[in-house]
Amino acid sequence: MVEETIIIEDAGRIRVVRLNQPQKANSLTPAMLESLLNALKAAQEEDKVRIVVITGTGENFTTGMDINALKDFPVEENPRIAGSMERLGAETSRILLEGKPSICAVNGRAMGMGVVYTLACDLRYAVETATFKLPELDASIIPAANCMTLLVHEAGLARAKELILTGRTCTANEYHGMGLITKVLPAAGFMDHVMAAAKDLARKNQDALQFTKFCLNAVVHARSFNAASKLEEASFLSTFQKDKAAWLQGMKKQIE
């Protein structure tokens, strides 16, 4: 039996979407990215779902794109596959940002797209042992899937540059201090705290909640998000196509 890499669970009006590839640190394959996107799209279309929670299985939230997945394709196909993965990631972050109220439960290490998905959610809870890292420059590519756009809006230009250019590992408390995490929670009862917050949101008037989210996001995203998102995608593809070997080697080193 093939284990599901995306697990969907309902708790009343709350849809929990769980990344489920713990043996690979919940790294994201092309198929897994597509399944995640489809799961989030389905949640948007179901009236019974009011709140979406995204989390991971095991000790990692996600370490980002699974570079080993590219080995399953011919070398000449790698740029196309990587570009497809980036677009799937970007569309996923956009749904979290613009769709129904979303909560990210960061249960462990978050790298690359793991940071992106965190920033795209409305509320972000992290277990106290969680860490965050943007390793892309050390892998000879740039952050993608709307990462730079979201990070500049959330943390400011100077802080975004520091986190991206250094690629350093940050603790959950550091991210909380930067205003990137809503609350840091102990491991014991972590998901209970998250679900309690989700239930509180689910009880509110959904039209009012959705319009409030839309208006708040519009303050910072309305004018520049689309243009910045397209620029990120184009730049990502350019850097990947220039030096694929360096990208593969660099990403493998960061994840190990």
* CATH code of residue 47: 3.90.226.10
For residue 26, being part of any structural domain is answered with yes
pLDDT in tens, 115-150: 999 999 999 999 999 999 999 898 888 888 889 989
CA of 70: how far to CAs of 60, 83, 180, 186, 220, in Å?
21, 11, 31, 36, 35
Q: Is the dihedral of CA 235, 246, 80, 31 positive or negative?
A: negative
Q: Tell me, yes or no, whether 213 lies in a domain.
A: no
Residue 20 lies in a domain: yes
Percentage of the chain lying above the pLDDT 90 cut = 59
Dist. CA 209–CA 51, nearest whole Å: 10
Question: What is the number of domains present in the chain?
Answer: 1
- Total-model pTM: 0.85
pLDDT at position 2: 44
Give residue-wise pLDDT tens across range 37-84.
Answer: 999 999 999 999 999 999 999 999 999 988 777 666 555 666 666 677
Q: Report yes or no on 218 lying in a domain.
A: no
**Range of the structural domain that residue 169 is part of:** 6-203+226-255
CA angle 209, 184, 55 (to 5 degrees): 65
pLDDT beyond 70 at 163: yes
Residue 156 within a domain? yes
Residue 221 maps to a domain: no
Q: How many whole angstroms separate alpha carbon 59 and alpha carbon 190?
A: 13
Q: Is residue 150 assigned to a domain? A: yes
